[in-house]
Amino acid sequence: MAKKINTVVKSNEKKLRVACIGAGGIAGAHLTEFAKMKDVEIVGLADPIMDSMVKKAEQFKIPLDNCFTDYRKMLATLKPDAVSVCSPNGAHEENTIAALQAGAHVLVEKPMAMNAKQSQKMIDIARKARRKLVIGFQFRYDGRSAFLREAVDNGTFGDILYGRVQALRRRGIPNWGVFGRKDLQGGGPMIDIGVHCLEMCHFVMGSPKPVAAFGNCFTYLGNKPSTTKSAWPNWDWKNYTVEDLAVGMIRFENGAMLNIEASFAAHIEKDVWNFGLMGTKAGGQWDPAMIFTDQNKHMVNMSPTYLPDNGWGGIWPPKMRNFVEHCLYDKPTLSPAEDGLMVQKMLDAIYESSSKGGKEVAIK
């Protein structure tokens, strides 16, 4: 009779130990997806506001001993493999650099930082630390963005000549957080919501290099009390120092141009969240996803019958999964830091142009 041999099977499964800096609403989106992944372990949180952190800790079963009001202490104590930076814009640079220098890969929410100078420093430190740095550009994971980008890559559009970006709210000034504080956010709707539509349009265009921009910013409603009924009333108008409406035009090295409009408050019919493209062979729009071209001697509008990963709920799983696979398995990221830097340079140039009366500003 053969002798029975007892064997122990060791798991070779990798696990990414992740932590969040910032425990607000956007951190919840990150943690929700991390919690679903077998190759991820959520190890801790850091936030100066203990109440917010405790709620997130309870929701995601994170020990309170692993919750810190000092993010540097959290990094030193827990030594996470990767960190989601979900803090206000003004803290992105500081939080990201600290995490990188502590040996963690970083996913930093949009916008990358307060300005391009900070963004470049973050990239330089990531390279020096040999850590991965990814920007939270979730809308490039939307099925509509993928549909249009694939058509551009396949030559359907020919040469892209022009893009039009709109991130417009009729009356949607945030009445929570610090969105009205330029010193903490860097700006208003252009840097907060305009950045989303700008980055996905720029991505679909093939991420051409921007060379110049001009634009202007206007504040006429947010810094005054209002009795107008809206979904988000009672914002902090006394400390409102950002724009209500920002518009700009960007020129690219390949000759293409892009127009962007972004508002928290504007006298328009309804909110708009969209971008469109015009090329030598075809044009297109993001919502509803459609391509406009010529076929068989007719002008034709083409729409996909099915698109995955659409909308706010659909884009988070592929976004967070891409980050994990980039860190654990060295798969390419769809949101490299270099793209974040280009977007930041465009935002900076529009704000700088506005401060100079709308004069064109070179982008280097």
Give the per-residue pLDDT at 3. Answer: 39
Over residues 106-115, mean pLDDT: 97
* 8 A C-beta contact, residue 98 and residue 124: no
Q: How many CA atoms lie within 13 A of 42 on its CB side?
A: 26
pLDDT bin (cut points 50, 70, 90) of residue 12 is: low
Q: Between residues 10 and 47, which one has the greater pLDDT?
A: 47
| Cis omega (within 30 of 0) for bond into 332 | no
Q: Give pLDDT, residue 1.
A: 36
Indicate the SS3 state at residue 24: coil
pLDDT at 4 over 50: no
**Spatial separation of the C-alpha atoms in residues 270 and 256, rounded to whole Å:** 29
Give the domains, in start order, of the chain with CATH numbers. Answer: 16-136 (3.40.50.720), 142-311+334-362 (3.30.360.10)
> What distance separates the 2 farthest-apart alpha carbons in the chain?
93
Q: Read off the pLDDT band of 311 (50, 70, 90).
A: confident
- 309 has a pLDDT exceeding 90: no
Among the listed residues 96, 117, 116, the one whose alpha carbon sits nearest the alpha carbon of residue 105: 96
Give the mean pLDDT of 223-235: 96
Cα angle, residue 63 at apex, residues 58 and 65 outer, rounded to 5°: 125
What three-state secondary structure class fits 242?
coil
DSSP SS3 for 99: helix
Judge whether 103 and 79 are in contact, CB under 8 Å: yes
How does pLDDT run across 342-352, given as a tens digit for each residue? 999 999 999 99
Facing residues of 362 across strands?
212
Burial (CB count within 10 angstroms: exposed 0-12, middle 13-18, buried 19+), residue 206: middle
Q: Are 353 and 251 in contact (CB under 8 A)?
A: no
Query: Is the pLDDT score of 6 beyond 70?
Result: no
Task: Give residue-wise pLDDT tens across range 278-293.
Answer: 999 999 999 999 999 9
The rounded distance, in Å, linking the Cα atoms of 21 and 70 is 9
Residues 252-262: tens digit of each pLDDT: 999 999 999 99
CB-neighbour burial class of residue 295 (10 A; exposed 0-12, middle 13-18, buried 19+): exposed
Mean per-residue pLDDT of the chain = 95
Residue 9 has pLDDT above 70, yes or no: no
Mean pLDDT in residue range 54-73: 97
Question: Is residue 220 scored above 50 in pLDDT?
Answer: yes
Structure pTM? 0.93
Nearest to 216 by CA among 251, 260, 264, 267: 260
Within 10 Å of residue 308's Cβ, how many Cβ atoms?
Answer: 11
Asked if the model's pLDDT at residue 97 lies above 50, the reply is yes
pLDDT band at 87 (very low <50, low <70, confident <90, very high): very high
Task: Specify the long-range contacts of residues 35-39, CB closer than 8 Å, at least 24 apart.
Answer: 35/60, 36/317, 37/320, 37/321, 37/324, 38/13, 39/13, 39/14, 39/15, 39/324, 39/328
